[in-house]
Copies of this chain bind each other. A is one copy, B any other.
């Protein structure tokens, strides 16, 4: 019953096999190998964009921070949700890689940026000449940190505001696969066709060891990205092993199968929680993350039964009476089974 995060899961067998197969023989280092080229071609195919440039790194923080550094000069600001990973979970990596840019934090339910709030914040930025920071970039998280998915229309609306202000759009796609599986839209529809300029496509949390593809739909940024990647220490000499993961991930729909399983288990959890007495799901899930309110009594039963998850937000009192409420976060993964979910729901029901 591991629901703390999808990054506690292991590796999908087909991805591990691909890594093993990549290990034979010699290969040109630093991404000059055939597997890396094949991986780039596959990303282009999956995203129906023949000119996209693809660069692999191994962590989501690296993907996000390097991308934002290419999009936002040091004297500008990145518009993002107040709950965004780039704001709260990267120890100021965007500030570091951009050379000291700012983040402008925006509100919105389920960690989705509210378009009106974005429009107002953009309009209020860059109005003070050199005294304030300038308009830099828009960063969207798909899925959001509260488990929601932006529809293509929602992305387009936000991207339109950004583009209208001369900014590019970055998407933190750590759980992009889950939203594609959830929404049933195509990868292209949820990215460049909706106005995304740079997508950080995660695989790590959905079955890979460590592989994230930065997809530049504007190939003009490629050389700067490559230089930033290198001096950030993120250029792998044996790139083929990072490429093998991403290539296998995107082959024969594996990525969507893995995400589909995680999503299905989240849906099963959701139905069970909503059916349980004294418990309810509090977000509108668009991926593999649920936020729920349960009772402390249920929390005690779940913990005793071995369920692992986070109270969310942190810092809630856990020593109250059995009927006191507790908010929690539950994340499923490709590895989650129906048995895991049912065991959780059994313990919840008591």
Contact = CB atoms under 8 A, between A and B. Distances in A.
A11 B26 CA distance: 10
Interface in A58-104: 58-66, 73-75, 77, 88-93, 95-103
A246 to B, nearest CB: 14
Contacts of A241: 11, 209-210
- Count chain B CB atoms within 10 A of each CB in A16, A65, A131 and give the residue with the most: A131
Copies per complex?
4
Interface residues of A, number: 80
A11 B23 CA distance: 5
A209 B19 CA distance: 9
A64 to B, nearest CB: 8
Contacts of A299: none
A109 interface: no
A126 B132 CA distance: 28
Interface of A: 2, 5, 7-11, 16, 19-20, 23-30, 57-66, 73-75, 77, 88-93, 95-103, 123-124, 127-134, 204-205, 209-210, 224, 226-238, 241-242, 314-315, 335
Given A11-B241, A65-B233, A95-B102, 6 more contacts: A8-B27, A11-B23, A92-B101, A93-B231, A97-B100, A128-B314
